[in-house]
Copies of this chain bind each other. A is one copy, B any other.
Amino acid sequence: MPPPAALGPNARLIGQRHAREQLATPALLLDLDVFERNVALMANRCRRAHKGLRPHAKTHKSARIARAQLAAGAVGICVATVHEATVMVAAGVSGVLITSPIVGTAKLAMLERLLARRGDVTVVVDNIEAVAGLERSARRARRSLDVLIDIDVGMKRTGVPDVRGAVLLARRLATSSVLQYAGVQCYSGSVQHIVQAAARVRAYSRQLAHLERVLEALARRGHGARIVSGGGTGTFEIDRRGALFTECQPGSYVFMDAQYNAVEPVAHAAWPFKTSLYVQTMVSSNHYPRAVTLDAGLKSFAMDGPAPLPVRGAPRSARYQYFGDEFGRLVLPRGARPLPLGHKIELITPHCDPTVNLHDFYHCVRGDRLVDIWPVDARGNL
């Protein structure tokens, strides 16, 4: 646990009622009641389908949240980078799957240090040329290392693109004395945010058909996959009900965001997961009737999604516009009441993962009370 001074200027408000109104801004807010319901709900859905749940921590970058997911029944945690894995392992998180291929001497050295510290990690590989490096890291750390083959089903980002490549990789892994072939990973980032559920199901079905061919080819050659890990929040109802995956990797369900809220869920009239994450900002300048300047800009909100969505404190149909690093512009509807300096506005985050990466702290609230502050301890690049 970091000391209170390391938790920023709002640490002094922990435990206080009405603290929510007194926070220094811009502040990332986590509504704990909603967050806890989301965590329990996904765990139950996967349990009922007899699927493992390995939630993706790239969304939250928080060891504290990873532990909450494990406590609710997750079989482990996914992370995107060796850096995230290092933070999670140091915090005692087990079952860490690093979902990006690890190549290059520097990252392999970080992996070696992680293994030497008895970190419980699994890695993925998408290239036969990368196997020797993983073997070296494992051997130097005197550890065996579970490896999944990363399968590309259409993004062309990482993953083996063809059946033959997957089989060759499995054969290569089978000859290794320190690597254990444990199955495959398949993540289709490109379909998660297809707005219409029916279109998403169609596009995903074609991709899963390829995954099925890969799995069959592997099984025929004696490389049956013990673990088939993948999927996301946009496909979780397909992933948990289908026969292919043994475990699901959703991330955003803990928070939800403007991007996922704009997407039709599969098999539900409305998302069962509700928004738990907000950025609180305030009015910094207000000289004009139709727009005020807020103290949260592109240092507080990622720009790869839709615009942040003003909710609490904002007039109906007010719109947010980016206004530089430090500022946003809240465009007010005609006839809106003037907003005084210091007036607080809370906004739903545009895309939660990279927005969280901009912040150092979760300000955990229940109603108006600030219950705790959790560091975003795995944020950043290194």
A residues neighboring B (CB under 8 Å) = 8-10, 22-28, 58, 80-81, 83, 100-101, 103-107, 109-110, 126-127, 129-130, 152, 156-161, 165, 189, 282-288, 291, 293, 295-296, 298-300, 302-304, 322-327, 329, 340-342, 353-354, 357-361, 380-382
8 Å CB contact of A9 from B101, B110, B283, B353 = B110
Residues of B within 8 A of A127 (CB): 285-287, 341
Whether A382 contacts B106 in the complex (CB less than 8 A), given A341-B130, A354-B325, comes out as no
A288 CB to closest chain B CB (Å) equals 6
Given contacts A22-B106, A24-B110, A26-B382, 14 further A-B contacts (CB under 8 A): A24-B107, A25-B104, A25-B107, A100-B295, A103-B284, A104-B341, A127-B286, A127-B287, A152-B287, A303-B303, A358-B358, A358-B381, A359-B380, A359-B381
**4 residue pairs, one from A and one from B, having the closest CB atoms:** A24-B106, A104-B342, A8-B382, A303-B303
The oligomer's copy count stands at 2
8 Å CB contact of A80 from B22, B283, B325 = B325
A359 to B380, CA, bound (A): 6
Residues of B within 8 A of A300 (CB): 381
A126 to B159, CA, bound (A): 54
A126 to B323, CA, bound (A): 17
8 Å CB contact of A298 from B80, B165, B304, B341 = B304
Whether A357 contacts B358 in the complex (CB less than 8 A), given A23-B106, A382-B27, comes out as yes
A34 to B359, CA, bound (A): 31
Residues of B within 8 A of A304 (CB): 298, 303, 322
Are the CB atoms of A293 and B325 closer together than 8 Å? no
A185 CB to closest chain B CB (Å) equals 13
Residues of B within 8 A of A27 (CB): 381-382
Residues of B within 8 A of A129 (CB): 340-341
Residues of B within 8 A of A360 (CB): 380-382
8 Å CB contact of A326 from B28, B100, B287, B323 = B100
Q: For A59, give the chain B residue with the smallest CB separation.
A: B325
A188 to B382, CA, bound (A): 35
A353 to B109, CA, bound (A): 31
Q: Which of A284, A291, A293, A340 has the most CB of B within 10 A?
A: A284
Are the CB atoms of A299 and B381 closer together than 8 Å? yes
Residues of B within 8 A of A342 (CB): 103-105
A370 CB to closest chain B CB (Å) equals 12
A161 to B22, CA, bound (A): 29
Are the CB atoms of A357 and B299 closer together than 8 Å? yes
